[in-house]
Amino acid sequence: MLDFNPHMVLLIAAAAVVTFLTRIGGYILIVKMTRIPPRVEAALNAVPAAVLTTLVAPAFFIGGWDTKVAMLAALLVGLRYPSTYMLVAGWIVVMAWRHSIGA
């Protein structure tokens, strides 16, 4: 059974407050700007790719060949088709690999 730890509750509450302030602060800054500078807009446009890279790169370098081949298949499909097809292609490749060759 889990024990109640007041320090953990304070830590979670502090993290929630910091997250809220960060998000509302960004919103307030954007609202107060009459025009978003091109460099800021370019930086904001780069955020999704940066986040996706930080999630995928470790799996590529740590994972086995099944993961690498699935990511390559997903990349190739993603160059031509929507992201749903990309995810399905990666899933199919990794499942086929694990079923035929093993993990």
> What is the CB neighbour count within 10 angstroms for residue 70?
24
pLDDT tens per residue across span 70-89: 999 999 999 999 989 999 99
Q: Please give the C-alpha separations between residue 18 and each of 11, 42, 97, in angstroms, as whole numbers.
A: 11, 25, 43
Residue 2 has pLDDT above 80, yes or no: no
Rounded Cα distance between 19 and 96, Å, is: 41
DSSP single-letter state for residue 4: P
pLDDT of 1 above 70: no
Burial class for 94, CB neighbours closer than 10 Å (0-12, 13-18, 19+):
buried
Each residue's pLDDT tens digit, 12-62: 999 999 999 999 998 898 888 888 889 988 998 999 989 988 998 999 999
